Chains A and B, each alone.
Chain A
Amino acid sequence: MWAIIKKEVKTYFLSPIGYVFIGIFLLAFSISFNLELGYSNGIIDFQNIFVYIFTYLPTILVFAFLIPMITMRSFSEERRNGTEQLLLTSPVSITKIVVAKFISALVMVLIALLFTGIFIGIICFFGTPDIPAALVTLLGFTLLCMAYVAFGIFASSLTENQIIAAMISIVTFVITWVLPEFIASGSNFSLINMFYKFTTGQIDIAYTLTYLAFTVLCLILTITVMQRRKSAR
């Protein structure tokens, strides 16, 4: 399993995808940061600014569109190139393969999030941020990403076309995102709404479990798809 994770992460950086992913994310994050500074009319709320950045639309939106970029290839590309034959005839079990693919995409997200530490550094230089709140926000964001990465991996296992895999992820994201606007009960399906709770600095156990359950569900679905394909191939 470790071998797959190592190779996957390495492959992200052998192609431009890894760099583009981190680059665009940090760019969006910086824009949000800048907007927040301008918005506050000279009185900068150093305590909460880091948390605010995450609630800004560009950050969330860009991230939502970027994650499919790293998950779309995970199974689709192997399928298209025929390398899945090598992977699936190796002694590594399908469960381990799926988990390894999930972890390697998540590692990319964590690397990108690690860079946001720079912003904490900058804020620390000018004031005193609320570090615990910042960490809780990061945790919430990581959970959101986990759920989203797992869904992206699932989408990738459905098709050999990377673009279609990405479209499935994006469309699903957009639907769950705008659903609360139309249906009141839709907010229960909105992964983003759950995340906002974390930005208040509270760790919500129910939401944490929801994220984790959603992640596990997506991974189980992926494993099922891969196993089913064995007899349908």
Chain B
Amino acid sequence: MIEVKNVTKKYGNFTAVDNISFDVKDGEIIGLLGPNGAGKSTTMNMITGFIEATEGNIVVNGYDISKKPGKAKKQIGYMPEGVPSYQELTTKEFVKYMAELKMVDRKTRKEEIENVIKQTGLEEVQNKLIKNLSRGYKQRVSMAGALVGNPDVLILDEPTVGLDPKQILEIRNLIRALGKKHTVILSSHILSEVSQVCERVVIINKGKIVAIDTPENLEIKTQNKNVIYVTVEGKNEKMLSIKNKVKDIQELEYIKDNEDGTKQYKIVSDEKIDLRKTLFDILPKEDITIFELKKAEVSLEDAFMKLIDDRQESTNREQENIDEKQEKNKKKDVGTKLISNTAEQDQISPGENSEKKELEDNQKEIDKEKGGKE
């Protein structure tokens, strides 16, 4: 059981973590999700006692991390971001050192070390120096360091970063298996990972908690429109007129032409109304052949994007890009004018031609971007 109560972390004027509270039940796998720099690692570092919270308190299995750090830390196995380890030691030496640091009972230590090495699949490399291991193995060594001593709570900071797909799968399975006996907090910016592994998700952005819920609930919560994708035979243009015939359609949009001559449309209706049956009935009557009809699922990704909502930020960035390009164009315009002034009577040189073309292209790009935005 981990309780995080009104925790704030400030660096000077900058607030890295702003008054967050959540708790993790025994045997639960919880995911901290958020863009880079959201405060995930800071939160984890505070739970493990590596850094001190400016305000608020954190209680791990009944021990306050700032008041009883020794006992609280004993409950925790921590795998820091970037998987630091002692490069000059061998895998086994490292795990042994971690076991000793965690004061694992001398009698069971040897057995414990062997178990952990087996569990993380490190038997083959147990006598190799850590510095000679591949990234995937280093990750596992770090994991072994966190696991040794069988701590109740596991805190894993981005446990699958830098692994190949097979290793990711292995680590995920391992985490899932560990979640049966341990309380796990993991951080990630990979959404699919969190939705697969975690029972609950804490979404953090700019140091604040945006949402705490199960992945399923988050998907449902953020779904407020019913979206259907329909692919029809593209021989006639009747499709767009359907909108007038079915009053529940809020929006009907042409998406794309497929290679096989069919066309895809997007149909949006109110959350409570499922138009699939209606469409199946009405389209054949209008002499439109349905090739495909599917309901769009709101993924955790959509939920995440919606919650994070840094649309404002991205708009600003886009605007900046456009401004930059216009600035560039202006400069080029001036340059071109100068050239044409000095050689007024002369024919336009090929160089100038290409420059003009570039200008035109740039302008087109800008227009496109503006159009896209609107």
Q: What is A's interface to B at a CB cutoff of 8 Å?
A: 2-4, 6-7, 11, 14-15, 81-83, 85-93, 230-233
From A6, A7, A89, name the one whose CB has the most chain B CB atoms within 10 angstroms: A89
Q: A14 and B82 in contact (CB under 8 A), knowing A89-B48, A90-B73?
A: no
CB-CB nearest in chain B for A82: B84
Q: How far is the CA of A88 from the CA of B74 in the complex (A)?
A: 12
Contact with A83, one of B49, B73, B76, B84 (Cβ below 8 angstroms): B84
Residues of A near B102 (CB, < 8 A) are 90-91
Q: A89 and B78 in contact (CB under 8 A), knowing A3-B97, A233-B50?
A: yes
Q: State the 8 A-B residue pairs at the shortest beta-carbon distance, nearest first.
A: A3-B100, A82-B84, A90-B101, A231-B52, A85-B80, A89-B48, A91-B74, A91-B73
CB-CB nearest in chain B for A93: B70
Q: How far is the CA of A82 from the CA of B50 in the complex (A)?
A: 11
A-B contacts, 11 of them at CB < 8 A, read: A7-B100, A14-B89, A15-B88, A81-B84, A85-B50, A88-B50, A89-B48, A89-B76, A90-B101, A92-B103, A232-B11
Interface residues on B, range: 20 to 34
Q: How far is the CA of A88 from the CA of B101 in the complex (A)?
A: 10
Contacts A3-B100, A81-B87 known; 11 new A-B pairs at CB < 8 A: A7-B89, A14-B88, A15-B88, A82-B82, A82-B84, A86-B80, A88-B50, A91-B69, A91-B70, A91-B102, A91-B103
Residues of A near B54 (CB, < 8 A) are 231
Q: How far is the CA of A92 from the CA of B149 in the complex (A)?
A: 14
**Complex contact A89–B49 (CB within 8 A):** yes
**Complex contact B97–A7 (CB within 8 A):** yes
Contact with A4, one of B51, B78, B88, B101 (Cβ below 8 angstroms): B101
Contact with A85, one of B78, B88, B89, B101 (Cβ below 8 angstroms): B78
Cβ of B22 within 8 Å of any chain A Cβ, yes or no, is: no
Cβ of B98 within 8 Å of any chain A Cβ, yes or no, is: yes
Residues of B near A82 (CB, < 8 A) are 80, 82, 84
CB-CB nearest in chain B for A97: B101
Q: A230 and B84 in contact (CB under 8 A), knowing A87-B101, A91-B74?
A: no
Residues of B near A89 (CB, < 8 A) are 48-50, 73, 76, 78, 80
Residues of A near B49 (CB, < 8 A) are 88-89
CB-CB nearest in chain B for A92: B101
Residues of A near B88 (CB, < 8 A) are 11, 14-15
Cβ of B179 within 8 Å of any chain A Cβ, yes or no, is: no
Q: How far is the CA of A231 from the CA of B9 in the complex (A)?
A: 9
Contact with A233, one of B51, B100, B103 (Cβ below 8 angstroms): B51
CB-CB nearest in chain B for A231: B52
From A2, A4, A81, A231, name the one whose CB has the most chain B CB atoms within 10 angstroms: A231
The smallest beta-carbon distance between B36 and chain A, in angstroms, is 18
The smallest beta-carbon distance between B298 and chain A, in angstroms, is 37
Q: How far is the CA of A89 from the CA of B76 in the complex (A)?
A: 8
Cβ of B39 within 8 Å of any chain A Cβ, yes or no, is: no
**Complex contact B86–A83 (CB within 8 A):** yes
Q: How far is the CA of A3 from the CA of B45 in the complex (A)?
A: 24
Residues of B near A230 (CB, < 8 A) are 50-52
The smallest beta-carbon distance between B346 and chain A, in angstroms, is 62
Q: How far is the CA of A82 from the CA of B78 in the complex (A)?
A: 13
Cβ of B85 within 8 Å of any chain A Cβ, yes or no, is: yes
Residues of A near B86 (CB, < 8 A) are 7, 11, 81, 83
Cβ of B207 within 8 Å of any chain A Cβ, yes or no, is: no
The smallest beta-carbon distance between A183 and chain B, in angstroms, is 40
Cβ of B31 within 8 Å of any chain A Cβ, yes or no, is: no
Cβ of B159 within 8 Å of any chain A Cβ, yes or no, is: no
CB-CB nearest in chain A for B155: A89
Q: How far is the CA of A89 from the CA of B51 in the complex (A)?
A: 9
**Complex contact A86–B74 (CB within 8 A):** no
The smallest beta-carbon distance between B80 and chain A, in angstroms, is 4
Contact with B85, one of A7, A83, A90, A232 (Cβ below 8 angstroms): A83
